[in-house]
């Protein structure tokens, strides 16, 4: 009897500890969700889970399965507490024991434009194909698989009388796999990449981010078994592939126009035009960096991405933008220089993570960073920048400008050549 009571007491203690912990975790998840809503960060970027609260048992299997910590449990049910972090793996849906999770595109408030793509990856415009995230489905393995399959379809169609059988636009996983398939099939190809480096979205992951990917089956390379791999190792792998296969990536070439020409197309970049029989759009969903469209923007000191904050040591730097990446870039530069200013046209940062906001507030409070709200850059000169701040003109000494104002997807261009899109508001 004595032992029975002892076991019962121990069991009760364990249960109370468990319940206490579960309550604390749920409170923390509820706070995170509330902060996301208040910060205007509750809209997922693309494919994301919708949880049926009637079916959900609150088992937490989806929370454990999500590698991005996007899900949580609030009031005993799973919720997308950090929607901005969701990248649409679908690992949560696969882990749910009662099939309470459906993966959908867009929300009631924010529609997502998905181009019409046939199962062989051709759009409704014959000869123009789409692979990878632009078609709606993220993930490294899927993008690579689609790039490879799209090229297989183009190769089956045979050669036209143009200079290139195919022009592939974008050197992320979809474009690289497409390029390898084009070499394997002995096609005349051009692979264009707007940035100075390949890798696509992976190149922009936070430093040391661990990517999770199922095995890739790449033309000329074969099966590659990654499960968890750091961003740096993944980029190293892509560079190794390029070296081994001699895949030619034409970096720094941004597709600006696609026009019909006879049986094919002419793809124009800022440098030249390519006449081709088919086009594979593997441009992902990050878009082309938004420009300020102000005099002086063409100066070489203006960049659209922070690569190495160390390079701005002791320099007078202006960062422009109102999102997480702008604030993070300004804070990173401020670690190396006491002359960093952040310009944002809004009156407050309404769409940044709580953690970023706290870091910004302390950076401004202790004088590491100068914050210019309600400000617009008017001109960039060789050793200064001119801003309008609350209606007054301000000239700042300047050696570097980092514009971090998001990306523009070329949907108008794609629509103008006849590609149809469907706007999804929470459908599969």
User: Can you give the binding site for ligand FAD, defined by CB under 6 A?
Assistant: 87, 132-133, 138-141, 143, 169-175, 192-195, 200-202, 205, 211-213, 254-255, 282-284, 286, 288, 410
Closest to ligand FAD by CB, 174 or 332: 174
Longest dimension (CA), the chain: 93
- Residues 35-54, interacting with ligand SF4 (CB under 6 A): 48-49
Token pair, residue 231, equals 């961003």
Closest to ligand SF4 by CB, 29 or 89: 89
89 contacts ligand SF4 (rule: CB under 6 A)? yes
Closest to ligand FAD by CB, 2 or 223: 223
- Residues 329-368, interacting with ligand SF4 (CB under 6 A): none
Using a 10 angstrom Cβ sphere, with 0-12 exposed, 13-18 middle and 19 or more buried, the burial of residue 343 is buried
Among 70, 140, 279, 400, binds ligand SF4 (CB under 6 A): 70
87 contacts ligand SF4 (rule: CB under 6 A)? yes
Token pair, residue 229, equals 């791999």
Q: Do 62 and 98 contact (CB within 8 A), yes or no?
A: no
Q: Do 289 and 304 contact (CB within 8 A), yes or no?
A: yes
Closest to ligand SF4 by CB, 49 or 172: 49
CB of 334 to ligand SF4, least distance (A): 31
Give the relative orientation of helices 140-157 and 173-184 as an angle to the nearest 10 degrees: 40
41 binds, among ligand SF4, ligand FAD, none (CB under 5 to 8 A by kind): none
309 binds, among ligand SF4, ligand FAD, none (CB under 5 to 8 A by kind): none
Q: What number of other Cβ atoms are within 10 A of residue 107's Cβ?
A: 17
CB of 45 to ligand SF4, least distance (A): 10
389 contacts ligand SF4 (rule: CB under 6 A)? no
CA distance 135 to 143: 9
Token pair, residue 172, equals 């992320």
Binding span for ligand SF4 by CB under 6 A among 84-92, 220-228, 379-387, 397-405:
84-92
CA distance 126 to 146: 17
264 binds, among ligand SF4, ligand FAD, none (CB under 5 to 8 A by kind): none
Query: Which of helix, strand or coil describes residue 78?
Result: strand
Among 45, 50, 59, 68, binds ligand SF4 (CB under 6 A): 68
State the DSSP string of 139-197. Answer: -HHHHHHHHHHHHHHHHHH---SSSEEEEEE--SHHHHHHHHHHHHTT--EEEEESSSS
Closest to ligand SF4 by CB, 122 or 145: 145
Q: Which helix (H) or strand (E) is 303 found in, with range? A: strand 302-303
Determine the size of the site formed for ligand SF4 (CB under 6 A).
14
CB of 89 to ligand SF4, least distance (A): 3
**Considering only CA atoms, which of 211, 216, 89 is closest in space to residue 148?**
216
139 binds, among ligand FAD, ligand SF4, none (CB under 5 to 8 A by kind): ligand FAD
Closest to ligand FAD by CB, 44 or 200: 200
Q: Do 100 and 55 contact (CB within 8 A), yes or no?
A: yes
Among 36, 41, 42, 71, binds ligand SF4 (CB under 6 A): 71
Query: Which of helix, strand or coil describes residue 369?
Result: coil
Closest to ligand SF4 by CB, 89 or 316: 89
Q: Do 181 and 219 contact (CB within 8 A), yes or no?
A: yes
Closest to ligand FAD by CB, 143 or 162: 143
Q: Which helix (H) or strand (E) is 265 found in, with range? A: strand 264-269
Closest to ligand SF4 by CB, 88 or 135: 88
219 binds, among ligand FAD, ligand SF4, none (CB under 5 to 8 A by kind): none
Q: Do 286 and 204 contact (CB within 8 A), yes or no?
A: yes
């Amino acid at each position: 009897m004595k032992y029975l009571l002892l076991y019962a007491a121990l069991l009760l203690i364990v249960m109370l500890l468990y319940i206490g912990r579960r309550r604390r975790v749920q409170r923390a998840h509820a706070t995170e969700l509330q902060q996301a809503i208040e910060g205007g960060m509750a809209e997922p970027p693309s494919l994301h889970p919708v949880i049926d609260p009637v079916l959900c048992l609150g088992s937490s299997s989806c929370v454990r399965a999500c590698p991005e910590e996007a899900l949580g449990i609030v009031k005993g049910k799973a919720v997308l507490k950090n929607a901005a972090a969701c990248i649409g793996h679908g690992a949560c849906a696969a882990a749910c024991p009662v099939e309470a999770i459906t993966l959908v595109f867009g929300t009631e408030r924010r529609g997502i434009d998905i181009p019409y793509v046939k199962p062989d990856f051709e759009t409704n415009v014959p000869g123009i194909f789409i692979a990878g995230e632009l078609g709606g489905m993220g993930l490294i393995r899927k993008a690579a698989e689609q790039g490879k399959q799209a090229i297989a379809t183009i190769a089956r169609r045979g050669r036209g009388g143009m200079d290139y059988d195919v022009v592939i636009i974008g050197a992320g996983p979809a474009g690289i796999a497409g390029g390898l398939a084009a070499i394997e099939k002995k096609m005349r190809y051009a692979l264009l990449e707007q940035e100075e480096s390949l890798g696509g979205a992976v190149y922009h992951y936070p430093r040391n981010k661990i990517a999770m990917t199922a095995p890739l089956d790449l033309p000329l390379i074969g099966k590659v078994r990654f499960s968890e791999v750091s961003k740096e190792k993944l980029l190293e792998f892509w560079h190794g592939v390029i070296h081994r296969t001699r895949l030619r990536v034409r970096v720094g070439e941004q597709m600006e126009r696609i026009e019909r020409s006879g049986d094919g197309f002419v793809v124009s970049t800022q440098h030249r035009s390519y006449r081709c029989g088919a086009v594979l759009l593997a441009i992902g969903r990050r878009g082309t960096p938004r420009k300020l469209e102000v005099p002086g923007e063409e100066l070489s000191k203006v960049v659209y991405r922070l690569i190495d904050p160390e390079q701005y040591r002791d320099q007078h730097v202006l960062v422009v933008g109102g999102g997480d990446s702008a604030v993070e870039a300004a804070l990173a530069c401020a670690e190396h220089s006491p002359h960093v200013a952040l310009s944002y046209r809004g009156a407050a940062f309404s769409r940044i993570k709580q953690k970023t906001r706290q870091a910004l507030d302390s950076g401004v409070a202790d004088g590491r960073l100068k914050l210019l709200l309600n400000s617009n850059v008017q001109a960039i000169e060789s050793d200064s920048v001119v801003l309008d701040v609350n209606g007054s003109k301000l000239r700042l000494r300047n050696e570097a400008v980092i514009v971090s104002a998001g990306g523009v997807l070329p949907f108008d261009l794609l629509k103008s050549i006849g590609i149809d899109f469907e706007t999804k508001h929470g459908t599969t």
